[in-house]
Amino acid sequence: MSVPLPPGSTVGILGSGQLGRMLAMAAARIGLKTHIYCPDSGPAFDVAAKATKGSFSDAKALAQFASEVQVVTYEFENVSSETARLLAPHVTLRPSPRALEVAQDRLLEKTFISDLGFPVAPFRAVSGVSDLEQARQDLGPTAILKTRRLGYDGKGQVRLGASGDAASAWATVGKAPSILEGMVAFEREVSVLVVRAVDGGLAYYDIPANTHAGGILRRSEVPCGLPEADLARARQIAAGVANALDYVGVLAVEMFHLGARVPLEQRLLVNEIAPRVHNSGHWTLEACGISQFENHIRAVAGWPLGSTRRHADAVMLNLIGAEANAWEKLAADDGACLHLYGKNEARDGRKMGHVTYLMPLTA
């Protein structure tokens, strides 16, 4: 498709969470309808023109969904290759299945990025205890064992210390195909939100600094404080990845910054990529004229990209679990832009909303 989808067209979205919800509202802003497809109803159902509850392996329901939309995108990277294959005869999927394939498999992802010439943490493929023992010899005893694929009954990863036992670590990850990743002494975590149009045109949001706790993003802040040369290098890496995937939409590339003592070419190391809009870009809703959500929709709909210009400094804080119970206090906070996702239960570790604080533009 080389012509943009006209207003009134429908964008199909796989997944009904908060990212789908914000994508649906961004689509509505520019006159596009959305149709959410998900096994379970969720926050996105409340703001979409249509929503279908269906299994991601239901060929008939997916074909019906595909027939009612003009393009399909997704809010999460674990869309299975089966789902992609079932949709493919009927409708264009953007970003393409190739991006899903790479992002879903930690070994494939690290190899792909490394082959592009960009630094990643040292890693080894692990298919058994003997692999793991060899890998620890190569990378040092302190390392993280991660399953290649996510969502393995919460047995996704385990940190090995000097005294860690390989056999028990291997059992902890469910004996699933994995990688061992060497520890990286980074100074700062940043992410590049790059958006790539159908014609290959690229745009970048300003790069936030991110803070995680317990594996969950807590805070993103722009500007991140890195010098321009480092920012340019980060953009160069993200562009390289996006171009190599012939990507369409917003791609988030999470990176570790190793500090100014490390040579520029080695200073930024790719941690992981997310082929979708990203939590570290939520501040774009207020601090930019066109948010990451709208630019993702624009890209997948074949539209020209909108400006990624930022007109305010911003700090975004996630509201995790019971933190969202403070909504009344947050609503009364003069500087806070409050977002609540409409989830019923404030379960532990669940992203319930976020708050963005805007400040005058400094850089």
Nearer to its own copies among residue 1 and residue 361 (C-beta): 361
Nearer to its own copies among residue 169 and residue 301 (C-beta): 301
Q: How far is the CB of 7 from its own copies (least distance, A)?
A: 5
Is-contact 87 94, C-beta < 8 A? no
Q: Centre a 10 Å sphere on the Cβ of residue 335 and count the other Cβ atoms it contains.
A: 10
Is-contact 310 287, C-beta < 8 A? yes
Q: How far is the CB of 305 from its own copies (least distance, A)?
A: 9
Nearer to its own copies among residue 35 and residue 267 (C-beta): 35
Nearer to its own copies among residue 168 and residue 325 (C-beta): 325
Q: How far is the CB of 316 from its own copies (least distance, A)?
A: 12
Nearer to its own copies among residue 136 and residue 282 (C-beta): 282
Distance of CA 241 to the CA centre of its chain: 14
Q: How far is the CB of 360 from its own copies (least distance, A)?
A: 7
Is-contact 304 298, C-beta < 8 A? yes
Distance CA 196, CA 296 (A): 8
Q: How far is the CB of 23 from its own copies (least distance, A)?
A: 12
Q: How far is the CB of 230 from its own copies (least distance, A)?
A: 26
Footprint of its own copies on this chain (CB under 8 A)? 4, 6-8, 21, 24-25, 28-31, 33, 45-49, 286, 289-290, 298, 303-304, 306-307, 311-312, 324, 327-328, 331-332, 334-335, 337-342, 344, 353, 356, 358, 360-361
Is-contact 311 326, C-beta < 8 A? no
Q: How far is the CB of 163 from its own copies (least distance, A)?
A: 46
Q: Which long-range contacts (CB under 8 A, 24 or more apart) does 171-177 make?
A: 172/145, 173/145, 173/146, 173/147, 174/147, 175/128, 176/147, 176/148, 176/149, 176/152, 177/107, 177/125, 177/126, 177/127, 177/147, 177/148, 177/149
Is-contact 255 240, C-beta < 8 A? no
Distance CA 186, CA 209 (A): 12
Pairing between strand 10-14 and 33-38? parallel
Nearer to its own copies among residue 227 and residue 304 (C-beta): 304
Nearer to its own copies among residue 151 and residue 201 (C-beta): 201
Nearer to its own copies among residue 2 and residue 163 (C-beta): 2
Q: How far is the CB of 144 from its own copies (least distance, A)?
A: 35
Distance CA 46, CA 260 (A): 47
Is-contact 342 44, C-beta < 8 A? no
